[in-house]
Structure 1
Amino acid sequence: MFLAAVLFLCSFFFPWLGNVPVIFFGVIIVLLFIDIWILYRQPKGIFARRNTPERLSNGDDNEIGIYIESFYNFKVEIGIIDEIPHQFQKRDVWFKTNLEPRQHKLLNYILKPTKRGEYEFGAVRVYVRSAISLIQRRYNFEQPQALPVYPSFLQMRKYELMAISNHLNEIGIKKIRRLGHSMEFEQIKNYVPGDDFRTVNWKATARHSSLMVNNYTEEKSQQVYCVIDKSRVMKMPFEGLSLLDYAINASLVLSSVALIKQDKAGLITISDKKGATIAADRRPTQLNKIMEVLYKEKTRYMETNMELLYTTVRNTIKQRSLLLFFTNFESLSALERQLPFLKRIAKFHLLIVVFFENTELKKLSNADASDVEGIYIKTVAEKLIYEKKMIVKELNRHGIKSILTTPQNLTVNTINRYLQIKARQQI
């Protein structure tokens, strides 16, 4: 069109151009009508559909697919806009592709949510061009969808499969040497070199005329509770996820592994008010029950009521259990406020306090200081890191076990400690 305007302008100064501008403009108009006719003669030339899972996994890569099919008898150029949920703050989910006559394709892309809740998708909009490419025809496929974002069930499945096949060490889980053996009998088997002579079953040996030994297995039906702090200290973000979300994901994975190991998994959430409480059980529905509760949990911007936690634990858990308390301490003074209640809980249960390293402080402490301000910042960072280590020593001094971990290693370190305690029969 711009070239046609230039030709019309030039025809005033160059009469020899004659009707060339008119002919050129006429050709454009003819091509435009041809383009409109071939794109719009079919009422439904394109079909598109968004393929999504039933739910999204928080903090994980979730695959979304767009199925596109052409009913045109000629090759078309396709542009696709998918209206993804506003939580992602992305307006550039745009795909370009070409479709041959009667061809269909599946286009995949990845979404990584960082918050739990409802995520609403909008329409799928498709723009079609022919080979002439003077106009685009838009197709709107209204496909409103509300998908729930649950705690990381993809991570849970990965660890679950590893636990079933006893390959947890492949993803960082340590193999723990068992000290002694439990008294939970499993079977009688033939003796092989390396078996403990103390487990020889003399009656079975006499019957079979070969050396037989008793085989014992890990004790089962022990109670494992994940206690999650929902107060303001768990709101700190790390790589898009809050510490609360890391704790929730780790609790879900640990509960899954505990159920596979024939233990009972339970849950308690706490802040300034009493949160959800799920009694420990190992029924097949227990994991779904825990997931449904964790899906709705949110951070409260108040201090943790430790006295309420103590009374909740005493009223809910009647037998000695393993309690993993997911919280965070930034200073010794913060620990001292909660220590009396932690000591009282540790009298009745095996308590493990799980809190987090501040990776940003570690970066500051490792950075080179070039001026007085840099030296000051580096000194303060090292002091705060040292306080974290002192918190671990203070807890150990009072007989309370602890895990100081980075958020990304939380799940692995928590499962390691659980398997270590189970192997050593400390519950």
Structure 2
Amino acid sequence: MVFKRTPRGNTVLLLSAVFITLGLVAVLGSTLALLLAGIGLFLYYYVSKLVLQIKTKALDLLEVRRAYTKRIAEGSEVEVTVSFVNRTFIRLNAEVVDPYPPLFRLKVGSNAVVLAIPAKGYSRMVYAMTPTSVGSHPFGAVSLVTRDIAGLFYYERRIPAPDFIDVTPSGEEIARGALTAMMISAYGGSITSRRKGEGMDFADIRKYEPGDPFKRIEWSATARTGELMLKETHAETQLNVMLLLDITETMAYGEAGVTKLDYAARAVTSLVAYLTRRGDLVGLTLIGGKESAEVIPIAKGRLQTTRIMSRLSSVRTTPSQTQKLSMGVKRSLALGRVKGRTLFFVITDMESEVDLAALKQLVGMKHEVIVISPFTPLFEAHGLTGLDKTIYSINATYQWRTRKRIVREAAKLGIRVLDVGPSDFFPKLVARVEEMRRRGGS
């Protein structure tokens, strides 16, 4: 809360002091007039201050409520209504600013208005905005400013508003994943492994053994041989996939809406929808800074898709730390319901040193590990020209050398590193999934 004198107030106070001084020392002939003018200005100054101080009490008691949809899809429009309830007998005029999240764009109305709030009444402001980035976004503190009639003073009240709005990847990403799965199923059919088990494709006929399910008895072969015979089928391949997503600050660098984290969240959403449609199991681990990595255990079905989308909508970037990947791997194994051979996708920009030892542990456990790395220049070089583009190219060359070294070290450990850009993020994920499926999955 701030109560301050304006430049105009400083001028009035100075003039009153000058007039009173001149009147007292009789510098001019009309000393009484100067003295009275100075006293008049002085009284006006303090009366204005007193009246505003009374209004500040009412402003302090003003109730402010912000209403909006807490979770929206990327690309949609959200309406924000800020209500002001005045329960006092003093009418207020206030300049109001409601700072919406920085990664949103104003679409309708204004978030900065002048409101007349009646005594024992209320007023409201309404505006609409759209997001440019996925994740969780904070509103700023609401600012209320009231002034005296002459503009000699102003009083500002800032109301901390710990409100967040969560943005999920758009429904188009889910449709993209589901449609891709339908097309692959339609043109490629269901892929079966070489191991025998529950499935549709015929494998063999053998003698019935105690404990075998009766539903699999092959009655025509039984009639022909005179013994109970059992039909065996190839098991359909069901994959276990764990996604480790880096949510540190470097993943969010770049232009709003086209950051590495934005594209990663969209690709993850599409992939989860794809895997769900194909009947696979999928989990998510968020790897970040000081806090422990958050794990959504491996599961299947539409409910799992909803869980992962919900968590992606509330992602907030964190400062990086050296042990982030090691912690993510440990918590994935401990809490992720990792059973059997699992495909681990590690999505990170490799801006800091990658803890390959942590990934080596997964390889040693016979898991498949693939690092999906969005290459920074493909995401951040938009719109650069002249000297900026030259400097960025030099920096990109240095980054590329560092990445090549990490890729060579990873290859020695049996870990693949794939560079991706905005256009091939999701396709490369799907290609690796289907490659593992053809090899028999888990």
State the TM-score, normalized to the length of structure 2.
0.53
Q: Does 1:306 align with 2:322?
A: no
2:104 is matched with 88
- Counterparts of 1:286 and 1:305 in 2: how far apart (Å)? 25
Per the alignment, in what secondary structure is the counterpart of residue 407 of structure 1?
coil
- Name the SS for the 2:430 alignment partner: helix
For the residue of structure 2 that corresponds to 1:183, the secondary structure is strand
The yes-or-no answer on 1:229 pairing with 2:250 is no
Q: Any conservation in 2 of the 1:184–1:217 contact (CA below 8 Å)?
A: yes
Q: Is the 8 A contact 1:162 1:168 kept in 2?
A: no
1:236 and 1:288 map into 2 onto residues whose CA distance is 27
Residue in structure 2 matching 1:344, options 350, 358, 361? 361
Q: CA deviation at 1:346?
A: 2.5
Tell whether 2:423 aligns with 1:405. Answer: no
Distance 1:289-1:204 versus aligned 2 partners, 3 A rule: same
Going from structure 1 to structure 2, the CA distance change for 1:282 and 1:176 (only over 3 Å counts) comes to closer
Q: Aligned equivalents of 1:149 and 1:376: distance in 2?
A: 34
Inter-CA distance 92–308: structure 2 relative to 1 (3 Å threshold): closer
Superposed counterparts of 1:7-22, under 5 Å: none
Matched, 1:329 2:350: yes
Equivalences for residues 277-426 of structure 1 within 5 A: 277-303=295-321, 304-316=323-335, 317-320=337-340, 321-330=342-351, 334-335=353-354, 338-348=355-365, 349-359=367-377, 378=393, 381-426=396-441
CA gap 1:112/1:271 in 2 versus in 1, 3 angstroms: closer
Give per-residue Cα distances to partners, 1:322-370, cap 9 Å, x unaligned: 2111111147xx23xx122221232223222111112359979xx9x9x
- 2:8 paired residue number: none
* Partner of residue 116, structure 2: none
Q: For the Cα contact (< 8 Å) 2:105–2:129, is it kept in 1?
A: no
- SS, match of residue 317 in structure 2: coil
Partner deviation per Cα, 1:125-173 (whole Å, 9 max, x = no partner): xxxxxxxxxxxxxxxxxxxxx975213332112221331343799xxxx
Question: Does structure 1 conserve the Cα–Cα contact (< 8 Å) formed by 2:377 and 2:396?
Answer: no
Letter in 1 for 2:260: L
How far, CA to CA, are the matches of 1:293 and 1:230 in structure 2? 12
Structure 2: runs of 5 or more not aligned: 1-67, 80-97, 111-127, 140-163, 207-217, 225-230
Change (3 A) 1:419 1:176: farther
2:406 alignment partner AA: I
One-letter code of the match for 2:135? R
Larger deviation: 401-410 or 159-168? 159-168
Distance (whole Å) between structure 1 residues aligned to residue 298 and residue 378 of structure 2: 36
Deviation at 1:376, TM superposition (A): 7.9
Amino acid at match of 2:241: V
Q: Distance in 1 between matches of 2:258 and 2:380?
A: 19
Provide the secondary structure at the position in 1 that maps to 2:234: strand
Cα distance between partner residues in 2 of 1:84 and 1:205? 75
How much does 1:93 deviate?
Answer: 7.9
How far 1:208 moved relative to its partner? 11
Say whether the 8 Å CA contact 1:361–1:385 is kept in structure 2.
no
> Does residue 252 in structure 1 map to residue 272 in structure 2?
no
- 2:132 corresponds, among 99, 113, 118, to 113
What value does the CA root-mean-square deviation take over the aligned residues?
4.5
Secondary structure of 2:294's match?
strand
Unaligned segments of structure 1, at least 5 residues? 1-51, 66-82, 95-108, 121-145, 170-174, 190-198
1:43 maps to what in 2? none
| 1:172 paired residue number | none
Distance 2:185 2:77 in 1: 26
For residue 236 of structure 2, the aligned residue among 218, 237, 245 is 218
**Distance in 1 between residues matched to 2:310 and 2:281, nearest whole Å:** 17
CA spacing shift, 1:92–1:256, aligned 2, 3 Å: closer
Quote the residue 2:180 is aligned against.
162
How many residue pairs were aligned?
A: 292
